Amino acid sequence: MPVFSLDPVQTDWCAQLRALAEEQLRPLVEKGEPGRVNRPLIAALGELGLLEKLFGRANADDQGAGAGALDLCLLRESLAQGCTEAETALALQGLGTYPVVQAGTDRQRAHWLPEVRAGRAVAAFALSEPGAGSDAAALALRAVPDGDGWLLTGGKRWISNAPEADFYTVFARTEEGAGARGVTAFLVPADRPGLTGSPIEMLSPHPIGALAFETVPVSRDDVLGEVGGGFRVAMNTLNLFRPSVGAFAVGMAQAALDATLGHTADRTAFGGPLKDLQSVAHQVAEMATRTEAARLLVYAAAEAYDTGAPDVPRRSAMAKLFATETAQYVVDAAVQLHGARALQRGHPLEHLYREVRAPRIYEGATEVQRTIIAKELYG
């Protein structure tokens, strides 16, 4: 049954997450260096049990099942309301590690999952390239056969947590001319010879960089899943995380809406509070309605994923598309209603204004989501 409201346990958990983000995680963010991996923050996510929640508890052979899509969405939405940097740190750990959870060998899981759960290891999802972003099947990083293994040659770009991650989930072409069927996923430790990287300065200062592979050796022990099955590993990961990108966007929209409600109730103009102006009240009503609609679409997509529904790709794409576009609208409207103060460096809305732009591009741009939706509808 689709989720249209949360039960009391879920509601209480979300409130606890928001409090954790504001009271314990935000101070760690403020001590960190913008644009760099914040290891104390990631360690705190481990100590607070949030990474364990993300990946599931370890059992005897350490094969974590991973969080359900709805739990992941609630985590991201709630943390985003209190501290977007904490949300992003958690999400990047999930994105980089989930291929290991779903397709890793027992040895790979046993080595890396305890370290990630504890917040000691930093993960990265290395899919995008200088010439292959939205068209993920056009990957050009080559895996050249070398004995029983391969040598990786080429580059990756726009990789979150690069170049400071401890391991990378890397997607490389093992068969030329085979499109998506010629891509293999590898787990590549950061200390592998021939692997170097450099940071990229972005609009919103997150740890993002480029990677260079100069005949980096990988073996069959490094393969995630099957040789030639890497595209499936990537798409399975993105189908899980796309609704949760929408949840991140909903969290930002809700934070902007909450700030706007407080501001328009307290700020006076033209003889009374801003909320008494019909143009303002109607704008806020529209912001609230779109935010709630986005939230419900995200929850429905998460429920579809968790119940194994056949239309997960369409629902995931719809959730990411609508939620990220909605968040952009709501944050922009909030800035407009706050006026010049929202443009001042350090204002919460100035921060959200920079943060909200990227989700419309990464993990499949808005235009890609529309293509997926149309393909599913006509298919």
The answer to whether domain 8-121 and domain 125-228 are alike in fold is no
Predicted pLDDT at 66: 60
Model pLDDT for residues 129-178, shown as the tens digit of each residue: 998 877 767 889 999 999 999 999 999 999 999 999 999 999 999 999 88
pLDDT band, residue 60 (cuts 50/70/90): very low
CA 190, CA 11: separation in Å to the nearest integer? 39
Between residues 236 and 289, the one the model is more confident about: 289
The chain-wide mean pLDDT, for the chain, equals: 93
Degrees to nearest 5, angle at CA 351 with 347 and 355: 165
List, in order, residues 6 or more apart from 347 with CB less than 8 Å away.
338, 341
The CATH number for 232-378, chosen from 2.60.120.200, 1.20.140.10, 1.10.3720.10, 3.40.190.10, is: 1.20.140.10
Confidence of residue 59 (pLDDT cuts 50, 70, 90): very low
- Residue 335 · residue 353 · CB < 8 Å: yes
**Within 10 A of 17 (CB to CB), how many other CB atoms are there?**
26
Quick one: pLDDT at residue 58? 45
**pLDDT per residue as tens digits for the range 116-126:** 999 999 999 99
**Has residue 332 got a pLDDT over 60?**
yes
pLDDT at 82: 94
CA distance 114 to 358: 30
Dihedral through CA 84, CA 85, CA 90, CA 96, nearest 10? 110
| Confidence band of 65 (pLDDT split at 50, 70, 90) | low
Residue 238: closest CA among 365, 68, 373, 363: 363
For the annotated catalytic residues, the residue numbers are 363
CB 82 within 8 A of CB 21: yes
Task: Give the pairing of strands 167-173 and 123-126.
Answer: parallel
Helix, strand, or coil (residue 79): helix
Model pLDDT, residue 344: 96
Give the distance, in angstroms, between the CA of residue 202 and the centroid of all CA atoms in the same chain. Answer: 16
Q: Which residues contact 85 (CB under 8 A, 6 or more apart)?
A: 25, 26, 29, 32, 38, 41, 206
199 bridge partner residues: 209
**Residue 295 pLDDT greater than 60, yes or no:** yes
Judge whether residue 269 has pLDDT over 50. Answer: yes
pLDDT in tens, 157-168: 999 999 999 999
Greater model confidence, 37 or 55: 37
What is the reported pLDDT for 135? 76
Residue % of the chain over a pLDDT of 90: 85
The DSSP annotation for 114-176 comes to HHHHTT-S-EEEE--BTTBSS-GGG---EEEEETTEEEEEEEEEEEETTTT-SEEEEEEESST
- CA geometry: angle at 121 spanning 115 and 126, to 5°? 120
For 125-228, give the CATH class.
mainly beta
Which residue type sits at 67?
Answer: A
Going by C-alpha positions, the residue among 136, 57, 154, 54 that lies closest to residue 95 is: 54
pTM above 0.85, yes or no: yes
**For range 334-346, the mean pLDDT:** 96
- All structural domains of the chain with their residue ranges: 8-121, 125-228, 232-378
Which residues 6+ apart lie within 8 Å of 270 measured at CB?
277
Q: Point out the least confidently predicted range of 57-66, 151-160, 297-306, 332-341.
A: 57-66
Helix (H) or strand (E) holding 107: helix 106-117
Q: Which residue, among 289, 292, 309, has the nearest Cα to 301 in the 3D structure?
A: 309
Beta bridge partners of 170: 126, 186
Domain 8-121: top CATH class:
mainly alpha
- CA-CA distance, 331 to 324, in Å (whole number)? 11
Cα–Cα distance between 84 and 245 in angstroms, integer?
12
Give pLDDT, residue 3.
57
Reading the block at residue 263, the tokens are 């501001």
